[in-house]
A and B are shown apart, each in its own frame.
Chain A
Amino acid sequence: MPKTIAENSIGIVIPELHHFDEPLLLDCGKTLDEYDLVVETYGTLNADKSNAILICHALSGDHHAAGYHSMDDKKSGWWESAIGPGKPIDTNKFFVVSSNNLGGCKGSTGPTTKIPGTDTYYGPDFPIVTVKDWVRSQQRLMIKLDIPKWSSVIGGSLGGMQVLQWSIDFPDLIDHAIVIAAAPKLSAQNIAFNEVARQAIMSDPEFHEGHYLANNSKPTGGVMLARMLGHITYLSDDAMREKFGRELREGKLNFGFDVDFQVESYLRYQGKSFVDRFDANTYLLMTKALDYFDPASDYDHNLVNALQLAKAKFLVISFTSDWRFAPERSREICRALVAANRDVSYVEITAHQGHDAFLIPIPEYMAAFAAYMNKITDGFSESKSS
């Protein structure tokens, strides 16, 4: 627990639940008649409502992006490194909105919530949601919060994909799009990793075709495997070597199949702790949303055509050792933006941490990020004085 909360932390935050009655038609053809979104906000909306930022979360993220829920919390929100007073997403200047995506398992309507008017969990019957569905639901949230326009929409990885979709689907509602460690669509290799993760979950005997909650069980082994696999793809070879090398946990080989090396111990720990905080059906949904993401597909599979609709200014950031969504994938986005004659800056950060680098306060990364955000707030003071 944080005995004291750092001065540059937003501090204690309280999630709010927003209920939506207007039916939401999903890409899969099904409709959610009503749904909830759990939301955290940090900072204050200014008088002309020009300082709102939407944070989009990645696969295993949620609405809790910054601060702590209580003084007993062991961990801060997942993007504490970038959100807070004086940080790149400066909560002294911006009003930050962060919601748990539909289909999530942290309070928004999803597989672990009950079908309205029944005592039955959605479980595997929760419809497959797409990045576009999320963006539509976030736009409903925007109306509810009385925000006329996002100053920026910001996200890393799957969050960055939502940012891209926002810029295309609601070009008039977003001034700046900040896309970090993302890709314009998944590669066959990306999909392959997701499929192995899904198979790990679905082949667990405790999965019960997704009805494990009704059966009072949990596909623990499957979720753990999926997370272990995910973690390998989030780190780079270098990062793993530096963190663990071939270090032995007990200083000797045990000539058995239990943990010998530190890296095994780490992966098992990550897998096990994930089981307690994440839902298997949500994991399946999130990986499908990733696989299906392809904003160009609505525009003759031409990303330039898609991005020509965007009006936002873009900042695209990638990390050299990220092999899940490598710099080349970010360059694809930039190339399309340049061809579409959009405003874009692209920064490639030298980092050994792999895909996870987007969550780490690497000085060069934070400097470029902060420079961009500061430029936006310069605009606030100009508009106030005029």
Chain B
Amino acid sequence: MNLRADLALISDWIKPGARILDLGCGDGTLLKHLRDTMNVSGYGIEIEQSNIVKCIESGINVIHNDLDEGINNFFDADSFDYVVMTQALQAIRHPEQLLDEVLRVSSDAIITFPNMGYWTNRVQLALGGHMPVTKSLPNYWYNTPNIHLCTLYDFENLCKQLDIRIIKRHVVDSQHKHNWLAKLFPNLFGEIAIYHITKK
């Protein structure tokens, strides 16, 4: 199976043998890949029952929990090498609180989210006059789980406020490929943002 490109990128950023926590781990694809290729151990948090069963089928440690209830009640401080959260931040009720908790249970976190500042989104809203519907944001305004969409600019501002240091940033398109335009103007041409963050 081909690993989604953003997941492949994340695995480049993680040290072999690390202990990680994957928030919103879905069917466990990333954890399974990291376990099989890099001897990474850890847990996934997931709320969707069908995904939980898939994780169990893959032999992944999965914990049924609602991220909107936070993770402080489940994990001790500094108990992981990395927390990974792929495309989940924008669907959380209190992203700023969760980020705080993330960097409590782990010194390092890798966060990915769809960039609302991507040019197609801007064009659809500015000229089309409607909420953007794209490959990375496939839902309509009334049925989207994404209640806290942001741009790279917004996210980096929040990091500043929360005293979070950005170690690395990468932007890709919906095929999860990197291109030179996105390198030059990430907030305009990056469709999906990938950040490695840590406590200051």
Contacts and interface: CB of A to CB of B under 8 A. Distances in A.
Interface in B57-108: 57, 59-65, 73-76, 79
Given A345-B55, A345-B56, 7 more contacts: A341-B19, A346-B63, A368-B49, A368-B52, A371-B53, A371-B57, A375-B56
Interface string A347-377: 1101000000000000010011001101100
Contacts of B65: 346
A375 B64 contact: no
Of the candidates B19, B60, B74, B79, the one having the most CB atoms from chain A within 10 angstroms of its own CB is B74
Contacts of A346: 62-65
Contact of A371 (B56, B63, B74): B56
Contacts of B55: 345
B56 A338 contact: no
Given A335-B74, A338-B74, A345-B61, A368 B79 contact: no
A341 B56 CA distance: 18
A33 interface: no
Range of interface residues on chain A?
Answer: 20 to 34
A347 B52 CA distance: 8
Nearest to A315: B56
Contacts, number: 52
A331 interface: yes
A67 B3 CA distance: 46
26 contacts: A315-B56, A331-B73, A334-B63, A335-B74, A335-B75, A338-B43, A338-B74, A338-B75, A341-B19, A344-B43, A344-B63, A345-B55, A345-B56, A345-B60, A345-B63, A346-B64, A347-B49, A347-B64, A348-B64, A367-B53, A368-B49, A368-B52, A371-B53, A371-B57, A375-B56, A375-B59
Contacts of B57: 371, 374-375
A237 B38 CA distance: 48
Contact of A364 (B49, B59, B76): B49
A74 to B, nearest CB: 34
Interface of A is mostly: helix
Interface in B7-54: 19, 43, 49, 52-53
A5 interface: no
Contacts of B60: 345
A339 interface: yes
Contacts of B43: 338, 344
A347 B56 CA distance: 10
Of the candidates B49, B55, B73, the one having the most CB atoms from chain A within 10 angstroms of its own CB is B49
A344 B74 contact: no
Of the candidates B52, B55, B75, B76, the one having the most CB atoms from chain A within 10 angstroms of its own CB is B52
Contacts of B53: 367-368, 371
A345 B74 contact: no
Nearest to A363: B49
A343 interface: yes
A345 B56 CA distance: 8
Nearest to A346: B63
Interface in A86-110: none
Nearest to A314: B61
Given A344-B63, A345-B63, A339 B76 contact: yes
A343 B76 CA distance: 16
Contacts of B52: 345, 347, 368
Contact of A343 (B61, B64, B73, B75): B61
A315 B63 CA distance: 10
A343 B64 CA distance: 14
Nearest to A375: B59
Contacts of B75: 335, 338
Contacts of A331: 73-74
Nearest to A344: B61
Nearest to A350: B49
Interface in A298-356: 315, 331, 334-335, 338-339, 341, 343-348, 350
Contacts of B76: 339
In order of increasing CB-CB distance, the 4 nearest A-B pairs are A371-B56, A348-B64, A346-B63, A371-B53
B56 A372 contact: yes
Contacts of A347: 49, 52, 56, 64
A380 B74 CA distance: 33
A345 B62 contact: yes
A341 B62 CA distance: 13
A338 B41 CA distance: 12
Contacts of A348: 64
A344 B64 CA distance: 11
A146 to B, nearest CB: 29
Contacts of B56: 315, 345, 347, 368, 371-372, 375
A30 to B, nearest CB: 41
A346 to B, nearest CB: 5
Of the candidates A341, A368, A375, the one having the most CB atoms from chain B within 10 angstroms of its own CB is A368
